[in-house]
Amino acid sequence: MIDRFDLSTIGAGLPVSDVIGNLPARGPLVVEAPPGTGKTTLLPPAISNLTASSGITLVTAPRRVAVRAAARRLAFLDGTPLGDRVGYSIRGEHKDGSLVEFVTPGVLLNRLLKDPELTGVGAVVIDEVHERQLDTDLVLAMAMEVAFLREDLYLAAMSATLDAEALAAHMGAQILSTEAVTHPLDVSYHPHPGRAEGSREFYRHVADLAANQAPNGRDGRTLVFVPGAREVDMVCSQLPSAAPMHGRLSNVEQDEALNGKAQVVVATSIAESSITVPGVNRVVDAGLSRVPRRDAARAMTGLVTVSAAKTSADQRAGRAGRLGPGEVLRAYSQSDYQHFNADIAPEITTADLTSAALTLAAWGSPDLPLLTPPPANALADAQRTLRSLGALDDNGITALGEELAAMPLDPRLGAALLQHGSGAARTVAALAESASGDLARAHAPQRQVDRYARMVPDTAPVPPGEVIATAYPDWVGKHLGNREYLLASGTRATLDTTIPPSDWLAAAEIQLTAKGAVIRAAAATEFPANRVEESTTASLIDGRLRSRRLTSIGAIELTSTPITLSPAEAQEALAGIRIDFDDFPLDENAQRLRDRLFFLRERYGDPWPDVREGDYSPEVGELARGTSIRKLDMRAALMRQLPWPEAADMDTLAPERLTVPSGSHPRVDYSTGRPIVRVKLQECFGLSSSPEVSGVRVLFHLLSPAGRELAVTDDLASFWDGPYTEVRKEMRGRYPKHPWPEDPWSATATAKTKNRM
């Protein structure tokens, strides 16, 4: 007999129970339900009842505290001990469940890599898809591929705010929707000038809002939203009865927030939709979120504090109206809210992709159906990191990469653990738990330490700074003074005030703020002598090649000594310097030739060359031999680029000078991309119309006898017929000794001009 859940008992009072009878017998399925409707509680057992004959139902929740809370609630409503019909699995902690098991996306990723068919699994339910966390997006795409191959696997995705129609179209799924029971909310705005910079004064303001008595004598708890664990602790320290709620807490501390007596719970975004804090009818919202953000210019990812999305702000507010009328105090203005982004940015577009790239390589699917594709440059940076670890090579994932992919760790932490052995387990555990502050003093759960230690050979304890430097070599930093550090990546960062400074440190967590990068987690380390590299640099200074011998740790320069290179060494050094055509100084003759060649290239294309892409290796060779760049014969270099025999036609197609009726030969200027001639007006008498160069009319700047500009035209015929009359009238009195004929276009006028000039 198949074991089933009593859905009427479990779903009593839950809004989603009204639509549970419409649950389709087969997936894929998209469940659209706001927070507080009971979807996480009722949908998994309902799907288990449909698929129990095929195996267990796995349910992902994006955070460990949410996994534990969901499993405990379902077991409680089912009336069975946790670990009997309902279980859970998070990093370092597991309780069996015969029918439903709640897991983090990371745990399910590891299971998929070990067993791509998900043997013994009848259904996969992916909760909180709208949060667009990276691991959740990966799990959804991989599970879609498994469900395509296994018709008996029931796949469901649950979302509170994501566009259900778009998600269903992506999955080829049906939609099951339910409405939340909503109560009126009294929303008020209380802005503070310190919000943008996240000042201590702003968080005192948030604490004051939380401490104020609720109006009308309402009983209930207050839920406060701030961006991170540091701010949670800051606000809690200013309230007499407040419990923190964030992912770094122990199980006991998390249970205290959920089920304790504290009248105020101060939480990160973990309480938006992943978990429900009971008894809440009042919300105080700082309107901020902490998210990973990749700095493409520095090829690094850190945490940044940004305004929450409107969907997040609305979900937070909704937490006050689940039980009855509620109150929402927003620590920002209504105008601020109107300028919030409409929705959460997918983490795959902003986060470090090193772990994701390794997962993709291990999974091996060339066309994984991701909701959002990863940015190409971010994925390339991640793959370079994996290559530096030895996890990838030209053939794909290596044996080491397979080993790292199987470890429940970021590949950089896994590589550090493999290199240093069990002596690094305590530091790796602290890093895996995202501990902040001085990591030399950080505490990690002993079960995690023991778990990681069992994965590798026994070794003596390794200093935390050495372990961190192995995992994050680009974040080794040298003290510059005043808590400022220069990292090997080239980034300057400020050390958090909770961490004691040292000459050298290894950073593990960096937050990108409006004022720059801030090191939030680090440990002191000895001078990393084994990472010192020697290199030769070359640059052009004042037109000559200058070389130096450097010792450095990444971008941290230790010594710099001037050296003289041999011609061969100089040639090699110059190969590393990008010398563009524009770097070569051109004298007047070379500039004129360049302009003529640009004109011919524009008019005719091939075979006339783009001289910016020409071969100037002989000139580079002269630089290597010590010649100043200012003494190079660039006209000869340009002549070398000309095509032969076409070059013989150059003076016809783009003449350097133009012959005018007076017998003079004014220069043709091609610098603007068209032929221009500056010439005294009298010298053009006898030109009835404007001449052309390669089909382009010459633009004449007609000058007075004193060389002042009288007119600009590329249509001499029109000029003679019109504007010339006024010019003649004015100029005859000013320059009576010069000819001003009434028929300037005629040969007679030309003869008169020659006789008078």
Helix/strand/coil (H/E/C) assignment for every residue in 21-57: HHCCCCCCEEEECCCCCCHHHHHHHHHHHHHCCCCEE
Angle at 401 between CA 95 and CA 106, to 5 degrees: 30
Sign of CA dihedral 175, 181, 187, 193: negative
For the beta sheet containing 533-541, the strands, ordered from the edge strand earlier in sequence to the opposite edge, are 533-541, 544-553, 556-563
Q: Is the peptide bond before 28 cis (omega within 30 degrees of 0)?
A: yes
- 122 closest CA partner among 91, 138, 101: 101
Residue with tokens 């191959």: 149
Burial 56-72 (b: 16+ CB within 10 A, else e): bbbbbbbbbbbbbbbbb
Q: Flag whether pLDDT at 434 surpasses 80.
A: no
Q: Which tens digit of pLDDT belongs to each residue from 390-399?
A: 999 999 999 9
Q: Flag whether pLDDT at 587 surpasses 70.
A: yes
Measured distance CA(352)–CA(365) in Å, rounded = 20
Q: Which tens digit of pLDDT belongs to each residue from 696-724?
A: 999 999 999 989 999 999 999 999 999 99
3-class DSSP state for residue 735? coil
Helical (H) or strand (E) element with 573: helix 567-575
- What is residue 584's predicted lDDT score, i.e. its pLDDT? 87
Burial (0-12, 13-18, 19+ Cβ within 10 Å), 566: exposed
Task: Enter the tokens of residue 613.
Answer: 């892409």
DSSP 607: T
Q: How confident is the model at residue 372 (pLDDT cuts 50, 70, 90)?
A: very high
The pTM score is: 0.73
Q: Which is higher by pLDDT, 500 or 34?
A: 500
Burial (0-12, 13-18, 19+ Cβ within 10 Å), 507: buried
Sign of CA dihedral 686, 692, 696, 702: negative
What lies within 8 Å, CB to CB, of 572 at 6+ separation is none
What lies within 8 Å, CB to CB, of 128 at 6+ separation is 61, 62, 66, 136, 158, 159, 160, 273, 274
Measured distance CA(202)–CA(305) in Å, rounded = 14
Q: Flag whether pLDDT at 62 surpasses 80.
A: yes
DSSP 396: E
Q: Which tens digit of pLDDT belongs to each residue from 91-127?
A: 878 899 999 999 999 999 999 999 999 999 999 999 9
What lies within 8 Å, CB to CB, of 470 at 6+ separation is 415, 416, 419, 420, 424
DSSP line for 363-389? H--TT---SSPPPHHHHHHHHHHHHHH
- What is residue 558's predicted lDDT score, i.e. its pLDDT? 92
- What is residue 631's predicted lDDT score, i.e. its pLDDT? 87
Q: Which tens digit of pLDDT belongs to each residue from 248-304?
A: 767 677 777 777 678 899 988 877 766 778 888 899 999 999 888 777 666 667 778
C-alpha distances in angstroms, 573 versus 11, 535, 563, 582, 626? 73, 11, 12, 20, 13
Measured distance CA(442)–CA(468) in Å, rounded = 13
Q: What are phi and psi of 441, to 5 degrees?
A: -110, 5
Percent of the chain exceeding pLDDT 90 equals 46
Radius of gyration of the chain (CA): 37
- What is residue 576's predicted lDDT score, i.e. its pLDDT? 64
- What is residue 575's predicted lDDT score, i.e. its pLDDT? 67
Q: How confident is the model at residue 750 (pLDDT cuts 50, 70, 90)?
A: low
- What is residue 752's predicted lDDT score, i.e. its pLDDT? 55
Angle at 502 between CA 496 and CA 503, to 5 degrees: 125
Measured distance CA(22)–CA(247) in Å, rounded = 35
Q: How confident is the model at residue 35 (pLDDT cuts 50, 70, 90)?
A: confident
Q: What are phi and psi of 289, to 5 degrees?
A: -135, 150
DSSP 99: S
Q: Flag whether pLDDT at 751 surpasses 60.
A: no
Q: How confident is the model at residue 216 (pLDDT cuts 50, 70, 90)?
A: very low
Helical (H) or strand (E) element with 533: strand 533-541
DSSP line for 481-507? ETTEEEETTS-EEEEPTTS---SEEEE
Measured distance CA(439)–CA(506) in Å, rounded = 10
First and final C-alpha spacing in the chain? 120
Measured distance CA(119)–CA(55) in Å, rounded = 8
Long-range contacts of 12-19 (CB under 8 A, 24+ apart): 14/38, 14/41, 14/42, 15/178, 15/179, 15/180, 15/181, 16/42, 16/43, 16/178, 17/42, 18/178, 19/176, 19/177, 19/178
Sign of CA dihedral 309, 313, 319, 321: negative
Look at 95-109, 367-381, 434-448, 554-568 and tell me which has the smallest mean pLDDT. 434-448
- What is residue 662's predicted lDDT score, i.e. its pLDDT? 86
- The answer to whether the beta carbons of residues 277 and 302 sit under 8 Å apart is no
Q: Which tens digit of pLDDT belongs to each residue from 595-638?
A: 999 999 999 998 998 988 888 878 877 877 778 888 889 999 89
Task: Enter the tokens of residue 631.
Answer: 């003494």
What lies within 8 Å, CB to CB, of 746 at 6+ separation is 686, 688
Q: Which is higher by pLDDT, 36 or 137?
A: 137
Average pLDDT, the chain: 87
Burial 626-662 (b: 16+ CB within 10 A, else e): eeebeebebbebbeebbeeeeeeebeebbbeebebbb
Q: Flag whether pLDDT at 217 surpasses 60.
A: no
Q: Which tens digit of pLDDT belongs to each residue from 633-690?
A: 999 989 988 888 888 889 899 999 999 888 889 999 999 999 999 999 989 998 888 9
Measured distance CA(306)–CA(287) in Å, rounded = 9
Residue 42's CB: how many other CB atoms inside 10 A?
26
Measured distance CA(61)–CA(71) in Å, rounded = 10
